[in-house]
A and B are shown apart, each in its own frame.
Chain A
Amino acid sequence: MSASPVAVMTRGASAGRTGRARRRLTRVPAVIWLFLLIPLAVELAWVFWPAVNSFWLSLTRWNGVGAPEFIGVRNYADLVSDPIFTEALLNNVVWVIGFGGASVVLGLALAVALNRPRPGVGLYRSAIYLPMVFSLAVTGLFWRVLYQPEGAVNAFLGSVGLASLERQWLADPRTALYAVLVAAVWLQVGYIMVLYLAGLKGVDPTLEEAAAVDGASRWQRFWRVVMPQLKGVNGVVFAVTVIDSLRTFDIVWAMTRGGPYNSTQLLSTFMYQTSFTVLDLGYGSAIAVVIFLLAIGFIITYLVRASRNED
């Protein structure tokens, strides 16, 4: 809570004007209401109102022309028996685990390795950060170039004697999803590393020293002493990773548009295709609501953590 009213109260406790002074200070001036309400109105109009609308649209059949026709929960019933939806959902599960797991493990390992200042650390950090500045669309294009049948990935495999592994990475339904995933991880690792580097700054070095004196190995010290202190960061990273995984759209759209044969279809790309290519807006809204329902638990986790930090 704000410190100023408390200070005023104690200072003016004996004075008869306390009540009036307090009212004057606690009353929010009109200009401040404008300061708050203008941004709030923008967000209400462009975020919360559309979000509410999606719930309503998900209960209708609508191709964008005329009025939406209310059909109850039929869209949701259709989703359950839609094989593409099932495939997109399963791909999204693979995506959360693969994208989340790989970027967290790599990001954490790199943060630990690059935490202490020593020669070369700045250079290594920059190398890992650099992909972060590229848009997912640019990253997708970069990797599309690399993954071409004649491209660098296959050329590299051939040059190190692994020619048997060469394949058409993005055209083969068995490898396409993982090929896109590698590109996404390449981008995400830097971000996760930044979060963990910030977390490691808050780790008390004396505890680790004490454990070292007691004869704990490096591995033990990391898991028993450092990791518990990173609990807060872990929570944030977990929530951010899942939310990002459910949002993932750009990189898939730039690389494969969900193909071949829906093998890289995620909920987000399926939603986009259904809504803006097929123009089945009610069905698309239902997919969007499913994405929202999957994300909301993690959004709340993030908010709880954020509200604990604030104040």
Chain B
Amino acid sequence: MAATATVLARPVPVRRRRPRRWAFHAVMAPLSVLWVLPMVFVVLTAVRSFADITGNGLGALPHSFSWDGFVTVFTGGLVGQALVNSAIVTVCTVILSLLLSSWAAFALSRHRIPFRRAVLLVMLAGNLLPPQILLIPVSRIAEGLGIYDTLGALVIVQVGFGLGFYTFVLHGFMRSIPSEIFEAARVDGAGEIRTYATIVLPLCRPSLAALGALATTWVWNDLIWALTVLRTETKFPITAALLNIQGGYVSQWNVVASGAIVAALPTAIVFFAFQRHFVSGLTLGAGK
């Protein structure tokens, strides 16, 4: 709103406005096309036939249309199980992360926990650590607990690693809830759990939605934790399975491209459905 007001208030001569707008589009339109072009090309590659790619070259425009790539990806047993694995891991991780972090954020934001601030920052610091420093011990701990090479291990390690960030963001939001609301709840005799469930959670819906959209793409897109705690190929999520496809179908670029598109589609759908939440989520940790 402020920006619109400035535009109106600024005494821009009408004569100069038109060429500038034209220049803006002259730069931005080709740039946007350039940005989208790699995706378009991959889509075009995915729907070409193998014969077309070998005959006319990978960089040529399509001379054919075929679903062979996708058919191979699905019937070859390459991604079906991987998509299911990814879906299970993503749903469980996102729900558990948001549940646990909303607990911690509620405790830290509305109660006089000793060293509240330090606890919060230490939790956030955990999320900023380079994962490399955790990989070896994490795989060992998973082995020690007997959960190595299970989807459960992948869920719990990603919950642990993400918690700090989600807690920090939700804490900031819960602090901004006026304390009168909590006093009213106390007067009404609401206990802590009821306050949390009937007041805090509903009020946090926008933050939870933003974090949920963000977490979904992060967890779905993870590769390094999957490579760390999983060994059996049938347990791989889609990202890791994709690298296997690449290894197994070396020059069949239509198959590789189809696999990449199948892996990207769910997050693309989340993005389009929740673009507003997604974009606002990205700035959550970066200050107000």
Residues on A close to B: CB < 8 A? 2-5, 7, 26, 28-29, 31-36, 38-40, 42-43, 45-51, 53-54, 57, 113-118, 120, 123-124, 126-138, 141-146, 148, 150-156, 186, 191, 194-195, 198, 201-202, 205, 208-209, 212, 232-233, 236-237, 240, 243, 246-247, 249-250, 253-254, 267-268, 271-272, 275-276, 281, 284-285, 287-289, 291-292, 295, 299, 302-303, 305-307, 309-311
Contact = CB atoms under 8 A, between A and B. Distances in A.
26 contacts: A35-B192, A35-B196, A39-B103, A40-B123, A42-B160, A43-B126, A43-B164, A51-B137, A116-B3, A118-B21, A124-B31, A130-B36, A133-B267, A135-B221, A137-B243, A138-B260, A141-B242, A142-B39, A191-B282, A237-B286, A253-B243, A272-B224, A276-B228, A291-B133, A306-B168, A306-B285
Contacts of A45: 141, 160
Interface size class of B (residues with CB under 8 A): 35 or more
Interface string B245-287: 0100000010011011001100110110001001100110111
A46 B136 contact: no
A247 B2 CA distance: 38
Given A31-B192, A310-B117, A115 B3 contact: yes
A194 B132 contact: no
Given A47-B134, A116-B7, A250-B239, 4 more contacts: A32-B192, A144-B256, A150-B57, A205-B3
A302 B226 CA distance: 27
B112 A145 contact: no
B42 A145 contact: yes
Nearest to B36: A127
Nearest to A158: B59
Contacts of B124: 303, 306
Contacts of A49: 137, 141
Contacts of B127: 47
A241 B71 CA distance: 39
B159 to A, nearest CB: 6
Given A137-B223, A295-B130, A46 B39 contact: no
A265 B1 CA distance: 47
B233 interface: no
A310 B284 CA distance: 12
A201 B286 CA distance: 14
B195 to A, nearest CB: 10
B229 to A, nearest CB: 11
Contact of A135 (B57, B128, B264): B264
B198 to A, nearest CB: 15
A195 B268 CA distance: 20
A287 to B, nearest CB: 7
Contacts of A38: 100, 103
Interface string B99-138: 0110110111011110001011101111111111111111
A131 B217 CA distance: 12
A69 to B, nearest CB: 15
Contacts of A289: 133
B4 interface: yes
Contact of B253 (A145, A202, A254): A145
B112 A26 contact: yes
Contact of A198 (B4, B246, B286): B286
A46 B141 contact: yes
A235 to B, nearest CB: 9
A307 B118 CA distance: 9
- The list of the 6 closest CB pairs from A to B, nearest first, reads A155-B59, A46-B160, A135-B221, A50-B137, A36-B107, A127-B32
B179 A141 contact: no
A138 B264 contact: yes
B92 interface: no
A136 B134 CA distance: 20
B60 interface: yes
